[in-house]
Every structure is written in structure tokens, then in C-alpha cells.
Amino acid sequence: MLALFFIAARNLKRSWFRTAFTVAGAAVALIAFVMLRTVLWAWNIGEEYAAQDRLGTRHKVTFIMQLPKRYHDDIKAVPGVKAATYANWFGARIPTKPDEFFANLAVDAPSYVEVLDEMVLSPADKQRWLEDKKGAVVGQVLAKKMGWKVGDKVVLEGTIYPGDWEFNISGIYTASRKSLDESELLFHWDYMNDSLPPARQDQIGWIMTRITDSSRSGEISQQIDRLFDERDVQTITMSERNMNVSFMAGFSAILSALNIVSVVILGIMLLILGNTIAMGVRERTKEYAVLRAIGFEPWHIRFFVIAEAATLGVVSGVVGVGIAYPFVNNVMGAAIEENMGAWFPYFRVEPKTAAIAFVIAILLSAVASLLPSIQAGKVSVTDALRRVG
């Protein structure tokens, strides 16, 4: 059987030109597929790497409506809650670069560092931040992109909270897990709150909670929401994963479109491979007739066709994934993380994605060869020999 496979694989060398162009076409389709799947993975990374023991609480109606700050103290008293912190979307921008988007949040610094323990700050940076009311910490991706360093003064133009807001860069953080974005600017909630008119004070965007037992997350979520059922502002509490999903729900149409496009690309790849295999079968009808005449069974003929197609799929997969993996990880990914870190903080090809792409290349080749192989196996010796000479 193995000998038959190698004989079939050697048929690819009969037309180097056609084989090379087929492999190139399939490889390009495979590269596009890998890139699209990487975009989808990078977009949903917050969901995949969300902490299991962290909950998020927000306004029951929508994410953009705020909660009273006193809810934070109430939630801390719920049994099973180990720590809680809060944050508020600030939405400011750099006056000289109004189109440059990055997340900037007003947070309760001491509790924020405790709950989001994947934030890595040097002790000096942390101390500097906690002692300076105007202090801010930035992720290393944002700091590198903007050229900011510790000690710099940064002025942001408020949009939700109008005015010019001055910050001192107290430190630069990194992330020990992929659940934390390294392109954010975080500053003290007190600094923002004390600058607001009384009517807008003591409001927070959402509350994050770390619990003692992740298996009780559903029970603790219900306990938290029941606390506020009879109050003017009700809440909805969910796991961090579900909170990230709800935040990304607004982009579901885009993600669905990308999913469809990736399937279309596979369809194009199937057509490319199918056309090449069908051409090869038509050209070798006489050879198949001779093989049948000297004793080869129909399944031998079908095996030759499928084995040749599978070999073509293997070569296409090696070339496509072999180009896509280093290109995305070392060139494209680095550029995207630096310039679009707010949207794609981590843009790398997952080994799982590369493996799936490689297997798909082989499977599609085998599928594309099914119909030609069946037709080749049906060639009758008499009719086929009539075509010989």
C-alpha cells in the first residue's frame, strides 16, 4: 500500500508548472484563512483568557449606564467575595492625535491592583502611582507607541468629561496573562471624581469582584444582584468571560462576516484543488486503462487519485502554514500590536489554528479528489483501451 502511495505521489512531478501554481494558489488561500482565524482569535482573546474567579457587575440595562459608588462597599460584604474594585470609562484622547484610540480608565488603584493580579508593576512604580493623585500607569504597548516614559506629563482632552486633564506617568505595567490589555492608561478615580460637579460625582462604570471559589460564581452572582433588586438602580452580575462577551456583542456582525469569508476562502481552495485533480485524471485515462488491463482493480485507480491529491494537500499545507506562521508572528503581528494594540493587544497565530489549517488542506484535497477518483475507477477496460492509440 505504501509503495502505491509513493507511486501516486510521484505523479505530481509530471507537470512541475501546474503543481507549482496549484500549490501557490492553495497556499495563498491557506494564508488568508490563517490570518482571518487569527483576527477572530485576537478579537475574542479576552473571552478565552478571562479569569475563572472574577465576576463583573454592571447596570442591568446597559454597560454605558453608571452605578452608585456605594454599591462597591455593599458587594465587598457579600459572603464569598474576596476583593472588589471598580472602574469608569473615561474616553479621553490626545489633543494632537484625536484619531488615536486607546482605553483610558479611572480606577480605584489600591483595589484594582489587588483584583487584577496579572498586572505587573515594579514596587517603585506602584508606590509612585499610589502616592500621586494625578499619577497614571500605562501598558508597555501604549508607552512604546506614544514614546511615554516614567516622569512624563501627559495632557488628555476629555470627551465624556470635558476639559484638559493632566497626568503624571508613574509607571509602566506589563501583563502576566493575556486577560489584561497592555495598551491602557489607568489613573485615580478620585482625581476624576473630585473634579466633577456634585451632580456627576460618586458614579462608577462597573465593579469587578474576585471570589474565593470559582465553582460558586453563579450563586454569588445571584446574591450580589439580589442586594439591589429593591433599589433604584438594579445590577446584573456575570463571570468575567460573559462580561467580555457582552461587551463584544456589538461587533458580532463583523465577526460573523469574517467567519463567512473564511469559509468562502476554503471553498475557493477546494475549487482550485478539484480543478487540478480533474485535469490530471482526464489526461491519464489511457494510463488507467492500461493499468486495468494488466490487472489493477478499480480501487487501485481510485487510490492513486486520492493519494496524489492528499500529497498535493500536504505540500500546500506545509507551504501555506510555513509562510503564514512566521510572517504573522514576527512581522504582521508585531506591527498590529504596536499600532492597533487597543483592538488587538495580542496578535499571534495559535498553534491550534496552524494545525487546523494544515489538516484542512489535506482534507480538502481528499474531498476534491473524490468525484474524479470515482470516475477514474469506473473506466471500463474495453472503452478505455479503445482510446489507446
- Average pLDDT of every residue of the chain: 86
By percentage, how much of the chain surpasses pLDDT 90? 37
pLDDT tens, position by position, 201-249:
999 999 999 999 888 888 999 999 999 998 889 999 998 888 777 766 6
pLDDT band at 277 (very low <50, low <70, confident <90, very high): confident
pLDDT above 60 for 152: yes
> For residues 86 and 204, is the Cβ–Cβ distance under 8 A?
yes
Closest CA to 268 of 36, 70, 66: 36
Between 269 and 105, residue with greater pLDDT:
105
**What is residue 85's predicted lDDT score, i.e. its pLDDT?**
96
How large is the average pLDDT for residues 333-348?
74
**% of residues, the chain, pLDDT over 70:** 92
Contact between 173 and 182 (Cβ < 8 Å): yes
What is the pLDDT, as a whole number, of residue 46? 66
**pLDDT range class, residue 385, cuts 50, 70, 90:** low
Q: Are 86 and 206 in contact (CB under 8 A)?
A: yes
Sign for the CA dihedral angle at 27, 30, 34, 36 comes to: positive
Using 50, 70 and 90 to split pLDDT, how confident is the model at 388? low
DSSP-H helix ranges across the chain: 2-10, 16-43, 45-48, 70-76, 109-115, 123-131, 140-146, 189-194, 217-227, 240-248, 252-283, 285-293, 298-327, 333-339, 351-368, 370-377, 381-387
pLDDT surpassing 90 at residue 136: yes
Q: Give dist(CA 382, CA 389) in Å, integer.
A: 13
- Between CA 178 and CA 176 the distance in angstroms is 7
Q: Flag whether pLDDT at 299 surpasses 80.
A: yes
Q: So what's the pLDDT on residue 304?
A: 84
Q: Residue 365 — very low, low, confident or very high, per pLDDT cuts 50/70/90?
A: confident
**pTM higher than 0.85:** no
pLDDT at 387: 59
Is the four-CA dihedral 250, 252, 258, 264 of positive or negative sign?
Answer: negative
Q: Which residues contact 142 (CB under 8 A, 6 or more apart)?
A: 102, 148, 182, 183, 184, 185, 341
pLDDT tens digits along 54-83? 999 999 988 789 999 999 999 999 999 999
More confident residue, 46 or 184: 184
Model pLDDT, residue 384: 63
160-174 pLDDT tens trace: 999 999 999 999 999
- H-helix or E-strand containing 149? none
For 191, phi then psi, to 5°, come to: -60, -45
